[in-house]
Structure 1
Amino acid sequence: MTHTLKLPDQDSAICDYKLIGTPIAFPASPPVFNRIAYAAAHIVSDPLRDSTPWGSPAIDWDATLAFRHHLWSLGFKIAEAMDTAQRGMGVDWPVARELIRRSLAESRTVPGADLACGAGTDQLAPENAKTLQDVIDAYETQIDFIEAEGGRAVMMASRALARIARSAEDYRAVYGNILAQTREKVVLHWLGDMFDPQLAGYWGSSSFDKALETVLAIINDNRDKVEGIKISLLDNASEIELRKRLPEGVLCFTGDDFNYAELIEGDGERYSHALLGIFDAVAPSASKALAHLAKGETQAFRSIIEPTVPLSRKIFEAPTQYYKAGVVFLAWLNGHQPHFIMPAGMQSARGIVHYADIFRLADQANVLDKPDLAVARMTSLMQVYGL
């Protein structure tokens, strides 16, 4: 069946667009990968109960957990309650805590399902942090909860720590204190300020080289408690330098939504594992590509994964922190939720031309799983914009 619709272009002209993509077939059972692959998952709003979406967004728990089953069925681990779930951008700690509790419980019903949970300090407003102990206490609260529920933590970057830390030693003190207490190994998270401007100067310096030395010192001081580190700087050279210098047994997880294809494939000597928000949006393609990579079929891996990169670069374009809108947009187009509404109304963070570009790139990357539905929903969105 031919699918054609009208979409705006960058010159504000309305043009016919004819779909050319072919949906990716879903596997009969979860495939096996030779890379650890976490998909950072979004949450689904419940607009019928969302009376104060900016202050206390309502969550559709059934749809949210169904999407986790979708990711598990494709072979992914889940990075739960991370920035993709709008931590600090509509989702506060009480909502995140309930998300973690429910997802951990749900994972126990699925053979082989696995997840790690974001632990931060977002219950502590940055302006209320007066001492490093305030930050430590906030981290302790979240990690204690995750571990009490039987989970493992991803230690997210802290806006409060970025605000009050005065040196690299402050970071070493806070991270050392927390890592000394954890029962399970932790994944650290190096999130660049393009994802969150409040994290500028994290690790005590705006210089990558100096920040790297601090990160490596923290890891070497606590090697028995660090599973790995996710680096999200959208700079493949920085990630390659980090993974080259990591101590043996400590893993590098790419969070580079611009360059993930080449970083996951590696250079023949080293490669990155993955903890990516884009895997939420392109899960069937990423799953199929990773399954080929596990078989040594690198050309097949590239042929599937590389067309998703231009789409990811569009979704994560500046201002990058609004990428969640593109991720949820594709979940809506693909039928994983019945509406395009986000916590705090974050769908309004991008304009209709941005969404039209995503639609075209998603089609060209074979990411539109149900073309009939995608066309119908995109057409309805155009009508909302008066087009």
Structure 2
Amino acid sequence: MAWYYRPFSSTLNQDNDISLPSPEAVAEILPDKQMLLYEQAAAPADSDMDDVDMLRRTQDVTRFHLDQELDNYRTAMKKMADDILSLRRHVASLEAENSTLRRNLSMHEEVGRTLLNDVDVDVMTKVEIVDRIVALKHKLAAGTVEMSRMKDRVQQLQNELIRKNDREKDLVMLQRAHQQQQTVLRKYQEKITKMKALEDTVRQQERVIEKMERMLEEKVPETARTSDSVSKEFYSTLLTENMRLREELSRAHYRSSPIILQQQALPDMFSTNSEKLSLLAKVEKAQGRIRVLESQLEESARKWGREKQDLSTRLLEQEHGFGRSSSTILHDFSLVSDMPAVPGNPQAGLTQLQSNSSHTQLLSCSPSCHGHCTSGWCRNHVTGL
């Protein structure tokens, strides 16, 4: 005895004649719901197992479980489709039986009406009338019983139709879930193919890198042997030139300090016009001398900066293996004696230059010049001027 729930309708009658599958049939067919995507494979005994092998193993386990679950869904959907087809056939047979019963009932009613119409009540005796009434009551009772049975049958058919619709909805949901799982499976397969392609490209790049490293190891020692001696000489000459320029700047700074004090005290010591004119002439002469010294210092600094930049670039080329012979490196190299000498007697006036000479720093030419400097140095790179 089974009861079925009919949503948005009246209560259902009991089903005694037809044996249908239980409502838990699909749940019994399907496996237990598990989080297969998050199921981890057994941990390997070796701690040094490669990550790629572990990833492949987890992918194989996930794929196996997905295939197994898809097979279970396929079998469940096949069984459900068979049940739906059998129910449809059964419903068709019941509808045919219902139509035949309705036809029989209509025929019996028509026969009773014809009998009542044919018989003349005035001719019949009282006993015949009573017998006829009793027979009609029996026929009426049988007709009511048959009608109730047919109503129950119709109710059962309606319940079966409702269950069939529910089964169809479940089938549609299972089909959607199956399609979603197929899309997920295709995405995983695409990811696996992409990972394999990436692994192949990584292996190829590793082979290329190894070949390039071997080629560099073969070529670099030959160039390094020739460039070590030349680089040491260049570095020593650059250091000596830098030291010489720093000493010249420090000497100019020490010589300019008494001149600054003397110029500050001049207005208080002399009062006549002739003395003032002579002092102004001396000041102008000192300023001209300062300008000449500044220009000479800038020229020497530019030339030294250009040579330093050229030598540093050549050293970098030698260190990175760009071949240049030693003759080309020493072609434009100038010695310390070729530098323009600072004129003697700088005490006549180095007011502005020597007051800030302690803060003067010589910097290498930056790439912002783009090779447009006449001597490798810019005035902007000599800070403190």
TM category, shorter: under 0.3
Larger radius of gyration: 2
Give the number of the structure whose residues are more often helix, by fraction. 2
Instruction: Return the TM-score normalized by structure 1.
Output: 0.16
Which structure has the higher relative contact order (CA within 8 Å, separation 6+)? 1
Instruction: Return the TM-score normalized by structure 2.
Output: 0.16
